[in-house]
Homo-oligomer: A and B are copies of this chain.
Amino acid sequence: MSETTYDVVAVGNAIVDIIGQCDDSFLDTHGAPKGHMRLVDRDTITTLYGAMGPTVEISGGSAANTVVGLASLGGEAAFIGKIADDEFGRIFAHDIRAAKVAFAAQPVSGGAPTARSLILVTPDGERTMNTFLGISPELDHGEVDPQTITASKIVYLEGYLFDRDDAKAAFRQAAKLAREAGRQVALSLSDGFCVDRHRDAFLELIKGDVDILFANEDEIKSLYQTDTFEDAARNAQTDTELAALTRSGEGSIILAGDQRIKIPAQTVEKVVDTTGAGDLYAAGFLFGVAKGLPLDVAGKLGSLAAAEIITHLGARPRESLAKLAQKQDLL
């Protein structure tokens, strides 16, 4: 196999998060399904923004958050996604490059705007996302650069890409290029509702093309349409070579062949905003796998990164994850 430049390249939506706080009743009033991501159109996002309280803007995007977290741990990362030539596009590009993630995208003028997600954080720290994808899914063959894909040990794909045909095509292209180059393919199921929309396709991918699967309890139960986590985990163990299933405060379970490794969650003083908890878990786990660390260490790095992210607003680390990991003797 040829040399690689990156530990992980991610393909995902390039999104700026607009984060505000609200009560549960606000979610009900605006029909936002708590704890989930829903896609909204331009009118809906305008109305919802007008009704929201004051906000903070922070670069986001699920897979983008993951590679930023991986870079913060000291890994080499690249991101493939699409932005418009507007303020949000400049913010997204600045932040991901400032985090030392390679991002070659050329902003596009005159089309749809850069994607944004209105994230409503309830007092329990749970986040509910309302995403206007804008130009983000318009990934074409030029963006999924074969050189970047084959130069990466792991190609990480977010399930959210399946919500648009053009993004889905980019997803499939990236997976195919990775396979042909003998690279590993990792998939995040992204969201329970997203799984519901694309269950069959995801199952086919998982059985055929995916080497590393990430899912939370809700997503894996949705995938296998089971009521219990145990049933879902059993199915996942059959279908995957390597899977990391996250369960919020209950930690995570790594399934590797016949092995099951339980990883405790790291406790935090106060959960401020759960946005990015899954993304950052994936960052830590992928870093561990890419660097050839034992799976339990990879899982612990996932817990550590997730714990950092839920203590503040936004899904981009505030502290150096490498330093935190060194403090805990994980690196």
Contact = CB atoms under 8 A, between A and B. Distances in A.
Interface of A: 20-21, 49-50, 52-59, 68, 86-88, 91, 94-95, 98-99, 312, 314, 316, 318
B59 A58 contact: no
Given A49-B94, A94-B49, A54 B316 contact: yes
A161 B50 CA distance: 29
Contacts of A99: 53-54
B57 A98 contact: no
A314 B56 contact: yes
A55 B58 CA distance: 7
A59 B94 CA distance: 19
Contacts of A57: 56-58, 91
Nearest to A319: B21
B54 A98 contact: yes
Nearest to A72: B54
Contacts of A318: 21
B88 A54 contact: no
Contact of A94 (B21, B50, B88): B50
7 contacts: A50-B94, A52-B98, A53-B98, A54-B98, A55-B91, A56-B314, A57-B57
Contacts of A87: 86-88
A68 B88 CA distance: 24
A56 B88 CA distance: 12
Interface centre among A21, A50, A94, by most chain B C-beta atoms within 10 angstroms, is: A94
A313 to B, nearest CB: 8
A55 B88 contact: no
Q: Which 6 A-B pairs have the closest CB atoms?
A: A87-B87, A57-B57, A54-B95, A54-B98, A53-B98, A56-B58
A59 B55 CA distance: 8
Interface centre among A54, A94, A312, A314, by most chain B C-beta atoms within 10 angstroms, is: A54
Contacts of A20: 98
Interface centre among A50, A57, A99, by most chain B C-beta atoms within 10 angstroms, is: A57
A61 to B, nearest CB: 13
Nearest to A96: B54
